[in-house]
Structure 1
Amino acid sequence: MLRTGSRTTLRLGALLLAGAAMAALAPSGAALAQAESREGIYLQNQILQLRQELEMVRRSGGAAVAPQMAPPGRGGAPAAGGEIVAQLLERVGLLEEEVRRQRGRAEQAEYANRTLQQQVEKLQGDMEYRFNALESRGAAPAGTTPPTGRPAGGQQQGALTPPGNQPNTPAAPPGQPSAPPPRTPEVALREGQAALGRRDYAAAEAAAREVLAARNTPRGQDAGILLGDSLMGKRDFQSAALAYDDAFRKSQGSSRAPEAMIGLANAFNGFNAKREACQTLDDLRAKFPRLAGNLSDRANQARQRAGCR
């Protein structure tokens, strides 16, 4: 009777935990297969930990709680079961609160990024104005003094405007080498892939984040996959899962979308989320039934590591 009561309590706790977690993550039943957001993957990791703890209690057959339970008919088993359920509900409430805090932090970070961008644009405008003033002074006739003030309307006066036959880009000060031009996303990705090949994961991650920092870049998905690969090399599996998930969502029908899903499954395998890895690979098979040879081999290897059916 004690063993049966423990199993019934565990099943009830698992059902309550699963229902609360699915309501927090997404309205659809596929939320565990692929998290809908960064907060979803974070909460998914916590739920996986709870699932492992419940599995350990189930395998022990209720031995941990049996000594504290009264004989049948005296109300001991319901009290112990209610305590376990209450603890599980409290854990779910804490996870939901953590999701709300993470969402608030993300909004604050986005606001800070917008403010920083405005400051950088203002600083860039000031620097261009000063360089244009220096060019105008160099082009003015000897013995003349060009004006140095900025008009009230924010426009440069005629003496400060670069001549039509001069380039608008500022010239380097005399005696100093000109600064190298910033590398394009293509160059950054190429150098990042080279760093990944020589296992310089820090340099590969920096190159990927440099491309992702540029807004509206068409190479965002490539940079996301490179970021996931570099984090996998550093064995930061949970951050790699976030990177692969973002890369997949940038273009779910592109030729590199299957690669992002395979990377996500491997990241799930990295922190022992076997069920989520198998569900991701099942989604991959449904969305892309005909994979190329290399991708098909990688998907099969991921299924073997996860023990998928």
Structure 2
Amino acid sequence: MLRKLLLLAPLLLPLAAHPAAAQMESREGIALQNQILQLRQELDQVRRSGGGGGAYPAPVPVAPPGRGGAPAGSPELMSQLLDRISQLEDETRRLRGQAQETEYRNRTLQQAVEKLQGDMDYRLQQLEQGGAARPAAPAAAPRQRSEADPAPAAPAAPAAAAAATPRTAERALADGQAALGRRDYGAAEGAAREVIATRNSARAQDAQILLGDALLGKRDFQNAALAYDDAYRRNRSASRAPEAMLGLANSFLGFGAKREACATLNDLRSEFPRLSGNMASRAAESRKRGGCG
């Protein structure tokens, strides 16, 4: 047991020799650092005593006493030290898991904030465009009040009403798909966000997929991934759910997250095993680009 302990000692010494490199600022980290330093002192004491393990010669005839009156090289002390090593390893794993979880939450929050900022910018832009269009309406008023030529004022009202009437969700989605076909990604994004803003639940998934396609075309891969993920979660059994999952995988590939892309493509294969035609070809191509097995 002593030989096993002494073999583990070089792994613990660098941690104790460079406490500043770890930058432990939490109470758990400071307590763990103190325990490692204390364990190092005990390991040095065991090494000086010779330990009776046969790996190192004993430089002194009498082993120094350990804590609690037990000899430093006794089996009882060895068992205590090994137990403490196991506890420190568990504590280290726990702290590492907390750090990774915090990092993931921060990344998710940042993506959500970026998405919210994009939505607000779009809505402000729409309000500014609407405000710029309103002053043009009073220009027709003098012609309507003119007694000399009242006739031209008649067709102006239906034209203004038609311009003020918002597009239906179906019309906006059709215009967005047309813009996507001619690679006008800004117009496609605007049409998608217009439908999303109306909270039309029947076409929300279509709008989210259109938004993902537009953002993917603009190479805004992270926000495209959020749009595709929203589309998939709205209706996981819908006919367009595989398309949303494939878009999510392609977005992951766009910013280099190949492991997440392959995991999404594996889920696509397991949830929709009967893909065919263009969708199956696109999925196979994505697996090849991601190097998925």
TM-score, length-scaled by structure 1: 0.50
Which residues of 2 match residues 1-309 of structure 1 at below 5 A? 72=10, 75-80=13-18, 83-84=21-22, 86=24, 92=100, 95=103, 98=106, 176=157, 177-180=159-162, 181-309=165-293
| Deviation of 1:85 (Å) | 8.5
Q: Please list every run of 5 or more consecutive structure 2 residues that lacks an aligned counterpart in the other structure.
A: 1-7, 26-94, 121-152
Indicate conservation of the 8 Å contact 2:111/2:223, yes or no. Answer: no
Task: Measure the CA separation in 2 of the matches of 1:258 and 1:278.
Answer: 14
Q: Are residues 196 and 304 of structure 1, via their aligned partners in 2, closer, same or farther at CA, if it must alter by over 3 Å? A: same
Question: What SS does structure 2 have at the residue aligned with 1:210?
Answer: helix
Runs of 5+ unmatched residues, structure 1: 1-7, 9-70, 113-171
Distance in 2 (CA, whole Å) between partners of 1:86 and 1:211 is 49
1:98 Cα deviation (Å)? 3.6
CA distance in 1, matches of 2:285, 2:193: 28
Please tell me whether the aligned partners of residues 277 and 306 of structure 1 are also in contact (alpha carbons under 8 angstroms).
yes
Q: Which amino acid aligns with 1:182?
A: P
- What do residues 154-189 of structure 1 show as CA deviations (whole Å, max 9, x unaligned)? xxxxxxxxxxxxxxxxxx999654321211111101
Q: Deviations over 1:125-174 (max 9, x none)?
A: xxxxxxxxxxxxxxxxxxxxxxxxxxxxxxxxxxxxxxxxxxxxxxx999
Amino acid at match of 1:179: A
Please report the RMSD computed on the Cα atoms of aligned residues, expressed in angstroms.
Answer: 3.9
Moved more, 76-85 or 248-257: 76-85
Bigger share in helix? 2
Q: How far apart are the structure 2 equivalents of 1:307 and 1:237?
A: 19
Contact 1:211 1:217 survives alignment (8 Å): no
Equivalent position of 2:61 in the other structure: none
CA deviation vs aligned residue, 1:69-116 (integer Å, no higher than 9, x gap): xx959933554589448599596476377479769979x99xx9xxxx
Give the deviation of 1:221 after TM superposition: 0.7
Give the stretch that moved more between structures: 266-275 or 177-186.
Answer: 177-186
| Percent of aligned pairs with the same amino acid | 54
Count of residue pairs the alignment pairs up? 180
Distance 1:261 1:105, change over 3 A: closer
Q: Distance in 2 between matches of 1:74 and 1:284?
A: 44
| Distance in 2 of aligned mates of 1:253 and 1:193 | 23
Cα 1:271–1:205 shift into 2, 3 Å: same
Cα pair distance change 1:276/1:103, threshold 3 Å? closer
- Normalising by structure 2, report the TM-score: 0.52
Contact 1:205/1:230, CA 8 A, preserved across alignment: yes
Match of 1:125 in 2: none
